[in-house]
Chains A and B, each alone.
Chain A
């Protein structure tokens, strides 16, 4: 696993924790423990995304773009073997 894959895996891990916690919170909106878990992982997810994007380009079309090139078009795209 190269450095890009390692960083992407961190993004995927925290992002998944956030997705799963959000579903739980949809049916338990007053659960303080789940909210704390959500907030902790949301912060870790944001940090991991920032770190990934600094070296490997934008994860979202609205992510900060470099002034010289529209890096959103640069591959690999998520379904490609080399992206994972």
Chain B
């Protein structure tokens, strides 16, 4: 189960609304390498993780991703407040606005809705953790691209924090992969699936 703490993991205080920035940053809510997908990926994979350390890291990174989803939503929420119809039209935020007004709905930057197709849960820890390491890199590069497109220091500061977390998570998943392979036959890690083939 989870308990809510009435605070963000890192402060989000964006003084100037900017619907154009919101349109691209929302991809880290509902996009292919976004925080919602990350949380669902790890929290789905954890059940069949083969060792206690791997169960713990999937559980705890998955939980941190929920707090990152909340930070991304807070950014989008604050970037889209107090907008006039003129600003909505001129920024191109109108296509989102017509369906969702200022509500938070998980979409990619292109407007395509969140889809579970963007992650896997295979029941094979080597496949899952390899995907997780790739996912952290893809999220990191998405944040790099956001930093290429957004100038506001209030937004950049939060995006830089989230980018750093992708790097730390990549490191922890690398350690988790080693913890799995250390217990397998080094000549053939793929001889069997340690979450399925091992008899208890």
Contacts and interface: CB of A to CB of B under 8 A. Distances in A.
Given A29-B53, A59-B6, A60-B6, A78 B13 contact: no
B3 A62 contact: yes
A70 interface: no
Interface residues of B, number: 31
Nearest to A79: B74
Most chain A CB atoms below 10 A, which of B6, B12, B73: B6
Contacts of B73: 79
Interface stretch (B27-35, B56-64, B136-144, B145-153): B56-64
A27 B172 contact: yes
A18 to B, nearest CB: 11
Contacts of B70: 78-79
A78 B7 contact: yes
Interface in B131-186: 168-169, 172, 175-176, 179
Interface string B1-36: 001111111111111000000000000000000000
A27 B7 contact: no
Nearest to A58: B6
B87 to A, nearest CB: 18
B96 interface: no
A46 to B, nearest CB: 13
A12 interface: yes
Interface in B31-78: 53, 56-57, 60-61, 64, 70, 73-74, 77-78
Contact of B7 (A12, A24, A62): A12
Interface in A20-39: 20, 22-24, 26-29
A27 B4 CA distance: 25
A32 to B, nearest CB: 17
Given A27-B176, A60-B5, A60-B6, A19 B64 contact: yes
A75 to B, nearest CB: 10
Contact of A27 (B3, B77, B179): B179
Given A23-B168, A77-B6, A81-B15, 16 more contacts: A5-B11, A16-B9, A19-B9, A23-B61, A23-B172, A26-B56, A58-B6, A60-B4, A78-B6, A78-B7, A78-B74, A79-B8, A79-B74, A81-B13, A81-B14, A83-B8
15 contacts: A9-B11, A12-B7, A12-B8, A16-B9, A20-B168, A22-B60, A23-B172, A26-B53, A26-B56, A27-B179, A58-B6, A59-B6, A60-B5, A78-B7, A83-B7
